[in-house]
Amino acid sequence: MINIEKLSKNYKKNEALKDISLTVKKGELFAYLGPNGAGKTTTIRILTGLTHKTGGTAYLNGFDISKETLKAKRQYGVVPQSTNLDHELSVYENLYIHGLLYHMQGAKIKERIDMLLSYVALKDRKKSPVKELSGGMKRRVLIARALLHEPVILFLDEPTVGLDATIRRRIWGLIKKIQQDGTTVFLTTHYIEEAEFLADRVAFIDKGTIVAVGTPHHLMEKQGAWAIDLIENGQVETQYFNTREDADQYNVNRHKSYTLRRVNLEDVFLTLTGKKVTE
């Protein structure tokens, strides 16, 4: 559904992307992870036609984003990190205008709005001005808007940023439902547990280069099963172990302050790059 081959982007002397290659399968939920400045945003801007590539190719559902731009753009919907709804208009008005921009017929727009507002559990807020909605409701309106023209690919750029844990979990359930209904989802997030919970596969990018691709389970399995964070003089040192018994044995006769926990995706990324995903 998404095919990137040797994609590069240069800004004067800065190489934002360095010949990256990725394939995202139909119906897959793919998480794209990395610290700020790693190249995530540049990749999405190229895939959505907002930035021109320097080299390589990028296809969405078989359409070349550079040569068949309009056809490629019809393949996707985007949920941006910022809430770019018109706050003075109602939920319905925001969605209706979006449908007009995609040259949808009025009857079709109304049908899709009713269906999607039920889908995201906001049918009772159809006439509400956006400014009266909570943060979580606004994110659901953004998701409904992105799905209005029936795209086969959904780009989610930090979809739960700034939301509390309860609302984030509700959005996670909606995202999985969207995937299960057949949409291919391309997700960027700084919440490592979000990628672990949602993604079929993840890719780590750092300094414009893909450093690892795989399922969350496979990547974490190679790191180990258990981690011990040792805390001494304000510094944290992490050791990894394949079994709980190995971790417990390591702690025998040690009196340092420590935390025993399961390995997560951020451990994998730290090992590969020496950075945190949230940097």
**Residue ranges of domains in the chain:** 2-214, 219-273
Of 173, 268, 184, nearest to 220 (Cα)? 268
Q: Rounded to an integer, what distance in angstroms lies between the CA atom of residue 233 and that of residue 105?
A: 65
The tokens describing 15, both together, are 């190489």
Residue bearing tokens 């010949």: 19
How far apart CA 100 and CA 112 sit, in angstroms, is 12
Residues belonging to the chain: 279
- Give this prediction's pTM: 0.90
Q: What is the DSSP letter of 132?
A: G
Q: What is the pLDDT along the chain (279 residues), one digit of tens a residue?
A: 999 999 999 998 889 999 999 999 999 999 999 888 899 989 999 999 999 999 999 999 999 999 999 999 999 999 988 889 999 999 999 999 999 999 999 999 999 999 999 999 999 999 999 999 999 999 999 999 999 999 999 999 988 888 888 888 889 999 999 999 999 999 998 888 999 999 999 999 999 999 999 999 999 999 999 999 888 777 888 899 999 999 888 877 666 678 889 999 999 988 888 766 665
Question: What is the fold of 2-214?
Answer: Rossmann fold (3.40.50)
Helix axes 91-101, 135-147, angle to 10 degrees: 30
- What amino acid is encoded at 205 in this protein? I
